[in-house]
Structure 1
Amino acid sequence: MLSDRRLSRLFSLRALPSAGKLALVPAALLLAACATTTISPPEAGTSPRPAEQVARPAAPAVPTQEELSLKSLVAFQDRLYRVAAPLIINNSELCKANARNLLGFTAKNRFSYSPEYVGAAQKALGLGDRLQIMGVLDGSGAARAGVRPGDGIVAVEGQRLPEGENAERQAATILAPIVTGRSNVKLSLLREGGEVTVNVPLTFACAYGFELGNTDNVNAYSDGHRVLVTRGMMNFARTDDELAYVLAKEMAHNALSHSARQRTSATVGGVIDNLTRIRPDMSMMNGLAGIKPMPQDLDAMADKLAMYLLARANYRIDGAVPFWRRLATQYPPSTLNAYTALHPSTNYRISIMERTLKDVRAKQAAKKPIMP
């Protein structure tokens, strides 16, 4: 597991100029057995060719565990960003003070990963010293401007961006004042050996950081500014709609300042920081990890807002109730370190969701604004 650094959220789902981490989720992947080549014996009456003349196909390169883990990380991140994109872009009105301009893409170089993965990043992802576009937020100004994964970032508004080991930190310092007060930025990109210039409209969106948790417990956390989804929860969510139910719920807790009201921001923030480490300290996760279970009334408020966030992002909201029922059945409140242990009032939550679903459907039918 490895940590991304500051730029991943500076460019994408995180507000400028805040900093943070995005963690690699190592997968229990097995290396495929090496292929073997069988050479048939010579036909009768013929002499075998010299060994050096026998054509042997080159053995395929076997990826290292680091390369496999890195590809696993990229797959998790791509899914997380893809599902989060419509939620943050279509809900700036409901995020209140937590909405601002974003560049709308993620960018990394080989040093975006912890030292043991630098070589794998270069070999498996083709990353070098220059910052390179890894993903473009669907529906963002960057997507409309034609920014592509694989583009190298040369300069922003004529100011060249640094390369090498400290490129992310230095780029963050350069970009923060550039984007302040602007509606668009000019990017110089290296593409297919040539330099191109694109004008990128900034995207006004919910400015939450989205992180992957390096643990198999089925849970999600929010500290007022970030949303963390564990590897276990991402695997539990069978579809993108189901993952969106989790993201929307935690976004709603952030928008409603529930961690601040509960005075748990620091505690949850510590849990998030821990779970994004290469090797989380799981002794910190005993019991509820010091986090207070969410009161019924606050939980229901977040469920109501989440249904609106989902509807405005065009997710299938009628699947939310079955999803939360399935989660509560498989992981009841007695399951420590699971979502329902921190959100125990499932039946009450479902009653609010069912009522909200009717309200949203009525507004959609009447072509009224989808606002709570």
Structure 2
Amino acid sequence: MNKMNKFGTLSLVPLIAASVLLSACSTFQSQPSSPEPAPSVLSTATEAPPQVTAKMAAARQQLSQMVALQDRLYRVAGPLLINNADLCRTQARNLLGFTAKNKYSYPGEFSDAAAAVLNYSDRLEVATVLAGSGAARAGLRKGDILIAADGKLLPVGVNAETEAAAVLGPLVGNNKFLNLTVQRGGANQQLRVPVTRACAFKIDIGNSDNVNAYSDGQRVMITRGMVNFAQSDDAIAYVLAKDIAHNVLGHAATTKQAYTVGGIIDNLIAVRPDLSMLIGTAGVKPMPQELDAAADNLSLYMVARAGYNVAGARAFWQRLSTQYPASVLNGYTANHPAVSYRLSVIDKTVSAIRSKQASSQPLLP
């Protein structure tokens, strides 16, 4: 598989991370100016070729749409990761609870679009603050520019995210608070940010329209097609929580699918994924029904604890299996074919959750 640049990948280890990839598109070029024609016939000034400006406009529109999708995914995933730290067992970590980017967080051909659409510069800027996190409680805001952490200046430029991870990682891992200096409205402000205990799974959006989701033990990827199919936040939460649960329960290792699924995730989060890799079954074996049901059970508790409504889970999974049955290759049901068995477990789990909620019992599976 050819290595591709990634779009919006958050490499800051202490953050609750997610990444969103642009769909395949033409090479993005900086928009040239269009000077007024010079009166002399010898002038070499020309207007920008129509195809260049069209590509620029398309890239900017696409960037705006994908950033909105990215923000939505963060918003849905945040409560699942934060409110279920105890259920994630050894896979919980101290995190900051926000994401940060600069214009170089995007591939070279899109950095100009990021500067134009998002006003990003060389400095890292807060892109998302997750509700319920220490960052939110401390008053950190989207658009805040990161200046320093515990008195250490944070890097700027092309490698700012990677270099910032080396600064922030030890600070977050060893302390309960982070003294953060941010620039807001042209003036520096000091914030004392509590670290957030959360499930430390990386959340990715796959750059494909097949309706599926994948987990490799460390990451969860939900495709653009699945997000569009799910539509509601509750439904997106069902899908995310299901694969988070697979990771918590170690199912990628149990089924010996971690390498295969990891390769699919690596491919689909590329700017220009090789969709030919999805021909046939893509090497993914169907999930055994007992493992799938165990993930359904745990995931529904995660969904409820995150404040989402479990009542619609059965209808969602039934609709998915009807519209995209197991015969649709590289769809969710093809990888999770035990629909009837899963639905029976979902019914029992939802009933148990409702009973516990009614009697104010702890929501523990």
TM-score for both structures, normalised by structure 1: 0.87
Q: Among residues 6, 13, 25, which one is paired with 1:10 in the alignment?
A: 13
- Residue 219 of structure 1 is matched in structure 2 by 212
Equivalent position SS for 2:191:
strand
How large is the Cα RMSD of the aligned pairs?
1.7
**Counterparts of 2:312 and 2:183 in 1: how far apart (Å)?**
43
Q: How much does 1:341 deviate? A: 0.1
Equivalent position SS for 1:3:
coil
Percent identical among aligned pairs is 51
Equivalent position SS for 1:360:
helix
Code of the residue aligned with 1:312 in structure 2: it is R
For these two proteins, the number of residue pairs brought into alignment is: 334
Contact 2:24 2:273 (8 Å CA) reproduced? no
Q: Among residues 283, 287, 292, which one is paired with 2:280 in the alignment?
A: 287
1:255 matches 2:258: no
Moved more, 233-242 or 174-183: 174-183
**Counterparts of 2:104 and 2:121 in 1: how far apart (Å)?**
8
Deviations 1:122-152 (A, max 9, x none): 0100000000001101110000000001100
1:240 matches 2:233: yes
1:23 matches 2:20: yes
Q: How much does 1:296 deviate? A: 0.6
**Counterparts of 2:307 and 2:8 in 1: how far apart (Å)?**
31
TM-score for both structures, normalised by structure 2: 0.88
Contact 2:7 2:271 (8 Å CA) reproduced? no
**Counterparts of 1:73 and 1:276 in 2: how far apart (Å)?**
13
- Residue 330 of structure 2 is matched in structure 1 by 337
- Residue 125 of structure 1 is matched in structure 2 by 118
Code of the residue aligned with 1:211 in structure 2: it is D
Q: Among residues 199, 209, 216, which one is paired with 2:192 in the alignment?
A: 199
- Residue 348 of structure 1 is matched in structure 2 by 341
Runs of 4+ in 1 over 6 A off after TM superposition: none
Equivalent position SS for 2:137:
helix
Deviations 1:9-68 (A, max 9, x none): 535324xxxxxx72323399xxxxxxxxxxxxxxxxxxxxxxxxxxxxxxxx99611111
- Residue 31 of structure 2 is matched in structure 1 by none
Equivalent position SS for 1:71:
helix
**Counterparts of 2:345 and 2:22 in 1: how far apart (Å)?**
34
Change (3 A) 1:22 1:166: same
Deviations 1:184-206 (A, max 9, x none): 10000010000000000000011
> What is the correspondence of 1:34-73 to structure 2 with a 5 Å cutoff?
64-73=57-66
Larger Rg: 1 or 2? 1
Code of the residue aligned with 1:208 in structure 2: it is F
Moved more, 143-152 or 61-70: 61-70
**Counterparts of 1:306 and 1:210 in 2: how far apart (Å)?**
15
Code of the residue aligned with 1:204 in structure 2: it is R
**Counterparts of 1:335 and 1:8 in 2: how far apart (Å)?**
34
1:184 matches 2:177: yes
1:210 matches 2:213: no
Q: Which runs of 5+ in 2 are unaligned?
A: 26-52
